[in-house]
Amino acid sequence: METIKYPAKDSWDSLCRRALADKAAEVTATVTDIIAEVEKRGDQALIDYEKRFTGASLSALEVTAEELDHAETAISDELKTAINQAAENIEAFHKAQMMAPVEVETSPGVRCLQRAVPIERVGLYIPGGNSPLFSTVLMLAIPARIAGCREIILCTPPGKDGSVHPAILYAARLAGVKHIFKTGGAQAIAAMSVGTGSVPKVDKIFGPGNRFVMEAKQQVSRSNVAIDMPAGPSEVLVIADDTADAEFVAADFLSQAEHGPDSQSLLLTDSARLADILPEVIDRLMSTLPRQDMMNRSLTHSRVILLHDTDEIMAFSNMYSPEHLIINHRQADALAEKVINAGSVFIGPWSPESAGDYASGTNHTLPTSGYARAYSGVNIDSFMKKITFQRLTPQGIASIGRTVEIMAENEDLMAHKLAMTLRLNAIKK
């Protein structure tokens, strides 16, 4: 892990760049072929891909009611209790985001209304692989249900035996998902974007995944469906000073590093002592944990950056625009007020990223790779569209009609002007 002391400001841009994935062109080509196969062969392509990638021999793609019932008994009561509490907190926070319609009389006789309407059909992608991300089921399905989406489907890869992890199934049933399909990777994204015999076509796709999944989401978003956000490897930026517990900071680095070998962790600090001791503390704590190879690979492109003061720290943080931002600093509240770009912010020493990843109630599906400059994390609005309405009376025509005529004429859109002129003439009769 690299330690960089007092970098010149003209080097900050390069320090904020994320590592580029190897073989990007190969990934693009592979995903293009997979999407074409799913469009052409539907369910059979999905079954063939699961055999090839997971080893599962499937006769049907949809999870049965019996499998959902079995999941209820296949996980411990302790895990059920934890999932239930997390679900309650996520529901409470996301319910509070629901907004009442907006209605304004902008001019006499002109009333404008904005109303939020749920997206009808949404597709949720839940990765398999290293971890069964049942927490992501809650983060996506609960807001979709609260928003009122009419159809919520979920795709997730099966294990080699053809089963889905019971915690994913338990969380999905708890959150209100009715249809779950055993398909993963780029092929699952393709299926939700075009529809197959079993998997319905959706209007918007949500969820994380590997670079094949991310590439598939980008490709299908150009023609068939909307997606939640562009995304890359997960990341955390920690701001800490000499009051921070070095083990807390190290644990936050490691919890990020175990997301995957492409994950990145950054420390911004004005404490030379913390900058010097952190690598040793990370090594010591890592020696007690599994997935050390993955974490070591992540740490090779993680950095400790020593800066002069909090002004530099906040300027660098906002330039980097992290997915997760932890502020473990004596001035945590004041620094939080200066955050412009971040996916989710964790304030103070007792707010680890893992709280938001699981159970605080905020959403953990967040923009990465600097997209926090322009994108929000998943929230209720992600599952809604806002439609505007307007109603004009004759008084409204009189109050804004001439304005419309002048503007239309000066844009050389004379039919626009005519539509208003005819009404103005009608109210004068």
Known binding-site residue numbers: 125, 187, 210, 234, 256, 259, 324, 357, 411, 416
Q: Where are the alpha helices (DSSP H) in 107-201?
A: 134-147, 166-175, 185-194
H or E stretch covering 399: helix 394-410
Is 324 a catalytic site residue? yes
Distance between CA 23 and CA 16 in Å, rounded?
A: 22
* Burial bucket for residue 342 (CB in 10 Å: 0-12, 13-18, 19+): buried
Distance between CA 244 and CA 230 in Å, rounded?
A: 33
Roughly what angle, to the nearest 10 degrees, separates helices 394-410 and 414-428? Answer: 150
Q: What Rg value do the Cα atoms of the chain yield, rounded?
A: 25
According to DSSP, the β-strands at 121-125 and 204-206 are: parallel
Residues at the binding site for substrate are 234, 256, 259, 324, 357, 411, 416
Q: Which amino acid is at 52?
A: R
DSSP character at residue 17: P
At 312, list the tokens: 């530099």
H or E stretch covering 256: helix 246-257
Q: Which amino acid is at 102?
A: V
* Catalytic option among 37, 215, 258, 323: 323
Is 78 a catalytic site residue? no
- The residue among 347, 340, 346 whose CA lies nearest residue 370 is 340
Distance between CA 311 and CA 268 in Å, rounded?
A: 11
* Catalytic option among 324, 353, 364, 405: 324
Distances (CA, A) of 217 to 19, 144, 226, 231: 20, 19, 9, 9
Roughly what angle, to the nearest 10 degrees, separates helices 292-299 and 272-286? Answer: 160
H or E stretch covering 115: strand 110-118
Distance between CA 134 and CA 170 in Å, rounded?
A: 8
Active site residues: 323-324
